[in-house]
Structure 1
Amino acid sequence: MKKYLEMFSVFFKIGAFTIGGGYAMVPLIEAEVVDKKKWIEKDEFVDTLALAQSSPGPIAVNTAVFVGFKMDRYKGAFFTTLGAVLPSFLIILAIAMFFREIKDLEAVESAFKAIRPAVVALIATSVISLSKNSKLKGKAFIIPIAVAACVTFLKITPIIFIILAAVGGNLYMAKKGGKK
């Protein structure tokens, strides 16, 4: 039971203290799961993220599921997922109870405006970290920047880039013969 509580508490802590959604959680998950706890290797984490991104649902929850499943199959997935989801649920529940009364307060609006740059920085950290660990050495960070620019400024749907990445990844693996 101690192992399950540890898995739950690691993801609960990440879920409770990360603002900005799944991509903002990625560097914290990596620091805990790969660097501190050594539950999975760095290469395996990058592969897990690729799988989590291509699966339906939030990336942080998907990552929690995959890490938990790796640790101890279904029980592990249950406890890591519960840890990742429960803080958000409790916070949203509390906010929903009081939001109507406080939503127009200037301090609340200012707080939301102040949080935005921090979220952008956390997501940028995640992109830089993942590009460093990418098998595409060198200037791999250019790919997500170019895709973000195309989606933002040229209004190209992200689905096209997801399909291109899937086809490109499959072609790359076929060329390499399925070897890492």
Structure 2
Amino acid sequence: MNIYLESFKTFFKIGIFTLGGGYAMIPLIEEEVVNKKQWVSKEEFLDIIAIAQSCPGVFAINTSIFIGYKLSKLRGAIATALGTALPSFLIILGIAMFFHEFQDNPIVASIFRGIRPAVVALIAVPTFNLAKSAHVSWANCWIPIGGALLIWLLGVSPIFIILAAAICGWCYGKYIKPTI
């Protein structure tokens, strides 16, 4: 099958069956592109996630663009980006066209109340997988926990957390525990 069509269909399928945004897509993307299709390795996938989070824009689109570019340069990036974005666009278009007909429907409200906890789980799983792959252990788990608490409770900008972590990591590697 044509790589453009196959990558478009893969990301379209991921986009259409994912509720909860880009972070909820991570396990589905990983399953498809790392485990099933083996388009990227686990290590490459983790690097792509880190870079996609650092770039401005929609996380899921950034991730799909990096994977598509790795597969087939610019055309691959366009195919995967369209595959990721098109389902959301079509769903939002459909909702906008018919929203007034079901906005007060108690069944719809109940469905969404049930979906919300599942979305939390979909976001938690890649978080734990990323922590394991990034070698977060009991000795250093205070770093992501402390960073999350600073952002959540005190409203510290994530940019400052990233900069502080980079400086601390550099100092640790340079002065405390040099690498071999």
Give the TM-score normalised by the residue count of structure 2.
0.86
Aligned-CA RMSD value:
2.3
Alpha-carbon offset, residue 17 of structure 1: 0.4
CA gap 1:167/1:48 in 2 versus in 1, 3 angstroms: farther
Q: How does 1:81-160 map to 2 (within 5 A)?
A: 81-134=81-134, 136-139=135-138, 143-160=143-160
1:75 is matched with which residue? 75
* Alpha-carbon separation, structure 1, partners of 2:146 and 2:161: 11
3-state secondary structure, aligned to 2:40: coil
* Alpha-carbon separation, structure 1, partners of 2:165 and 2:24: 22
Alpha-carbon offset, residue 109 of structure 1: 1.6
CA gap 1:165/1:66 in 2 versus in 1, 3 angstroms: farther
After superposition, what is the alpha-carbon deviation per residue over 1:102-157, rounded to whole angstroms, capped at 9, x for unaligned? 111111221221111011100000101111111x3524665444333332233333
Is residue 127–residue 141 contact of structure 1 (8 Å, CA) maintained in 2? no
After superposition, what is the alpha-carbon deviation per residue over 1:51-106, rounded to whole angstroms, capped at 9, x for unaligned? 10000011110000000000000010010111100100000000000112211111
Using the TM superposition, name which of 85-94 and 152-161 deviates more: 152-161
* Alpha-carbon separation, structure 1, partners of 2:84 and 2:142: 30
Is residue 60–residue 84 contact of structure 1 (8 Å, CA) maintained in 2? yes
Answering whether residue 55 of structure 2 is matched by residue 28 of structure 1, we say: no
Using the TM superposition, name which of 69-78 and 103-112 deviates more: 103-112
* Alpha-carbon separation, structure 2, partners of 1:141 and 1:62: 27
Using the TM superposition, name which of 1-10 and 14-23 deviates more: 1-10
1:13 is matched with which residue? 13
Using the TM superposition, name which of 41-50 and 160-169 deviates more: 160-169
Is residue 65–residue 78 contact of structure 1 (8 Å, CA) maintained in 2? yes
CA gap 1:9/1:155 in 2 versus in 1, 3 angstroms: same
Alpha-carbon offset, residue 29 of structure 1: 0.6
Specify the structure having the higher radius of gyration (Cα). 2
Aligned length: 174
After superposition, what is the alpha-carbon deviation per residue over 1:141-180, rounded to whole angstroms, capped at 9, x for unaligned? 65444333332233333332233345456x38x85xxx9x
2:39 is matched with which residue? 39
* Alpha-carbon separation, structure 2, partners of 1:61 and 1:5: 17
* Alpha-carbon separation, structure 1, partners of 2:64 and 2:149: 29
3-state secondary structure, aligned to 1:31: helix
